[in-house]
Amino acid sequence: MTRPDVVTREDWLKARTDLLTQEKALTRATDEVTLARRALPMVRITKEYAFEGPHGKQTLRDLFDDSEQLLVYHAMFDPKWDEACPGCSAGMDETSAPAMTANLKAKNTEYVRISRAPYDKIAKMAKQRGWTFKWVSSYGSDFNDDFGVTVDPTRGEPRYNYAPSPHTEPTELPGFSSFLREGDDVFHTYSAYARGTEPHGGIDHLLDLTVLGRQDGSRL
């Protein structure tokens, strides 16, 4: 890798302020996309999905607990595997602090990891890694298929990230999905895949994926 040039402080400051102009433009563009994301129409969930976790069987509505919003990280963990994928595991490590869950909860948002592996495998891995966050199994339901994170060519044209997928074998892929609750009605508001799953750390990035946003009086 080529290293940057060595310059005087004055020349560095000029280069830095030039870059700041680009950064501010990117921030403004990102803000506009965030607002457009929050304004997306939503879809009422009518299918009864079943999940298994430490408290037994739960519905999608149950996963909200008493929050209005539910943010789901679709962690790659095929039923045939012994552990979740290394990349997803690293992301879950980075967001495993109880304070993160508590801070999201204070912003009316429940954060849950969901994988297709049976719950006994999930529980075993969580115990080994010392994870205490909510991580449930969608095994036996259509949830992963319906939300685009199980790509199975045997069930029709394979698609991922809203486009045809090159995968020729069934596989699990990562994603984020956001849901909003009004009473007992649940609505799907957003899903992101591929590089859209990169902002693992920091609750502002996560809250930007939801309808209610950051809830701190800012424009976002």
What are the pLDDT digits (tens) for 37-95? 999 999 999 999 999 999 999 999 999 999 999 999 999 999 999 999 998 998 899 89
Looking at residue 1, its pLDDT comes to 63
Measured CA to CA, the distance from residue 177 to residue 191 in angstroms comes to 4
8 A C-beta contact, residue 75 and residue 122: no
Tens of pLDDT along 100-125? 999 999 999 999 999 999 999 999 99
Q: Where are the domains of the chain?
A: 41-207
Topology given in CATH for the domain delimited by 41-207? Glutaredoxin (3.40.30)
pTM: 0.90
Looking at residue 145, its pLDDT comes to 95
Give the whole-number percent of the chain exceeding pLDDT 70: 96
Q: How far is CA 17 from CA 7, 8, 63, 95, 97, in A?
A: 15, 14, 46, 33, 35
Tens of pLDDT along 179-210? 999 999 999 999 999 988 877 655 777 788 78
